[in-house]
Amino acid sequence: MWRARFPLAALLVALSAGSALQVLRPEPAGTVAITVTARAIGAGTALVATDLTTVAVPSAAAPAEARRAPAELVGRTVALALPAGTPVVSALLAGTLHGPEGTVVAVVRLVDPALVALLSPGDRLDVLGTDDLGGPGTVLARRALVLPQQTGSGAATDDVGCTAEQSATVVLAVDPAEVAALSGAVGSGSLTAVVVP
């Protein structure tokens, strides 16, 4: 052992240097932190801090909008159901006049204020137009998404943000191909809706 003291000391110094290099080595280049859902979130849910987390992904695969910090997204409402691990980008969030990507926003007045009072953001509706002669209703929009409706401060609102005076009005995200039929029927005052999955 006495004769081997110098080679042994050299070996220990080399091991120590290797360990130090491992500790000081920087994170792999080419990754960035993005914000994703920490759990499955239902459509119409207002985000809270525990709904969000960050993960490191390759820079080339990271959507620019998902690089926002979780704190910037708290309080925003998701426009559709999101599974855990989904990058949170603007197209998935409901805003005052924004629906999910590929939809447009339509404001319609239904004949049944009681139905609107029961709706929540994230609900899905089939909107039907009826004629004054009592004929069968025509489906004008399928699975329209109920969006939060922003109102002025101080106004009494119901679950979908409608004031008492607007209690039959609902804001919907619909397919662009359905807008013409909806617009033509809005003035008639004969729109009804049913809640669908």
Domain that holds residue 87: 31-94
Q: Give the C-alpha distances (Å, rounded to integers) separating 124 from 19, 67, 94, 96.
A: 58, 30, 14, 18
Q: Judge whether 98 and 80 are in contact, CB under 8 Å.
A: no
Copy the structure tokens of residue 60. 């080339």
Q: Tell me how many degrees the CA angle 121-42-159 measures, rounded to the nearest 5.
A: 25
Residues 86 and 117 in one domain: no
Copy the structure tokens of residue 146. 């109920």
- The list of the chain residues with pLDDT below 50 reads 2, 4-6, 8, 10-13, 15, 17, 19-24, 27, 151-166
Residues 141 and 177 in one domain: yes
Q: How far apart are CA 185 and CA 128, in angstroms?
A: 9
How many residues does this entry show for the chain?
197
79 found inside a domain: yes
> Residue 85 gets which letter from DSSP?
T
Q: Judge whether 148 and 160 are in contact, CB under 8 Å.
A: yes
Residues 108 and 191 in one domain: yes
Amino acid at 17: A
> What does the pLDDT read at residue 105?
84
- Residue 46 burial (10 A CB sphere; 0-12, 13-18, 19+): middle
pLDDT, tens digit, 9 for 90 and up, residues 58-108:
888 777 778 888 888 888 888 777 888 888 887 777 765 667 778 888 888
CATH label of the domain that carries residue 54: 3.90.1210.10
Main-chain dihedrals φ then ψ at residue 37, nearest 5 degrees: -70, 135
> What does the pLDDT read at residue 63?
78
Residues 109 and 184 in one domain: yes
9 found inside a domain: no
185 found inside a domain: yes
Cα-atom radius of gyration of the chain, to the nearest Å? Answer: 27
Q: Which residue's entry shows tokens 């999910």? A: 100
Residues 82 and 112 in one domain: no
Q: Judge whether 191 and 108 are in contact, CB under 8 Å.
A: yes
Copy the structure tokens of residue 76. 């925003």
> What does the pLDDT read at residue 158?
42
Residues 123 and 175 in one domain: yes
19 found inside a domain: no
115: closest CA among 162, 173, 180, 185?
162
